[in-house]
Amino acid sequence: MGRSLTVFIYTDFPSESLDIDVITERLDRFGISAKSRGDLFEFLGNSDIRFHIADILARSRITDIENPLDVLPADNEAQADSELRKMSGLESVRGEFYDGLWMQRILHGALSGRNPGETGRGYIHMIFTGRLFGTYDGRRYHARVILAGSPALISTSGLVEAPAKPREYYFIKGGLVRSGQDVSELDIMYKGRYVEYDDPKISPILSSYALQAVYYELTGGEFCGDTGCCLYNSHWQVEVLKVQYEGGICEKCLEALREAG
């Protein structure tokens, strides 16, 4: 028996290279109906809610990657104002790092408040954001591409920053930086071996992560252990290019997703 699913897609100033149509078309090929709702904060409307979200987002910024944000710090008006500008695209989110679980909590509350009938089974809310977020693993925060759940958060900045570049890239870069040399040559040398902020590959790659968010909703499973499957948890840029970009889906995951169609 198939389960009927509707995916709602929102954007929060992701990379300009992201084309949401590529995402909805990929989901559609699996029989999953996805609707784009445009800008997240415009959709949420109401200025009181926007201000509340800005306040929580500002307090969800990670200032020390070794300390988990179990409790949010006191509110800070200047930072909340800066978040409001970021939510309207008037200020860049580049350089900020957020606790993904706090982001998810506040956005879950806001979306369920906006449309109470669209919560729970049968609905997936998916937010493509430019914000870099991470989760704490017991020792430190790690940047993530995706945080599945309600809503699912998928970050275009996370796609660039979270999966590691080749080891020797960091080694050579460290040497160049220490000796005060220009590192741009290095980026040219390694071009194509990792995803960049304005990369046209972002859309097809993130369509694999969108499938992963659906897979999580259906099965509760986070990632697939098959290193050739596009639902595999890639830790390296080279894996992202191989499986999320060039790879297909394994039989087992395909079966699980078909249940949704």
- Stated length of the chain: 261
Interaction between residue 218 and Zn ion (CB under 5 A): no
User: What's the rounded Cα separation, in Å, for the pair 174 and 244?
Assistant: 28
- Residue from 146, 152, 224, 257 in contact with Zn ion (CB under 5 A): 224
- Residue from 226, 233, 239, 261 in contact with Zn ion (CB under 5 A): 226
Helix (H, G, I), strand (E, B) or coil at 43: helix
- Residue from 34, 213, 229, 243 in contact with Zn ion (CB under 5 A): 229
Nearer to Zn ion, 16 or 255 (CB): 255
Nearer to Zn ion, 108 or 252 (CB): 252
Q: Least distance in Å: CB of 202 to Zn ion?
A: 22
Interaction between residue 231 and Zn ion (CB under 5 A): yes
Judged by CB under 5 A, the chain residues 20 through 39 that form the site for Zn ion are none
List the structure tokens of 134: 């991470």
Nearer to Zn ion, 34 or 253 (CB): 253
Q: Which stretch binds Zn ion (CB under 5 A): 93-101, 142-150, 202-210, 224-232?
A: 224-232
Please name which of 73, 76, 53, 77 lies closest in space to residue 63, comparing C-alpha atoms. 73
Residue 214 CB contacts under 8 Å (≥ 6 apart), including other chains: 5, 7, 27, 30, 32, 124, 257, 260
Residue 128 CB contacts under 8 Å (≥ 6 apart), including other chains: 9, 10, 11, 12, 14, 18, 20, 23, 154, 155, 156, 206
Interaction between residue 211 and Zn ion (CB under 5 A): no
Contacts to Zn ion by CB under 5 A: 224, 226, 229, 231, 250, 253
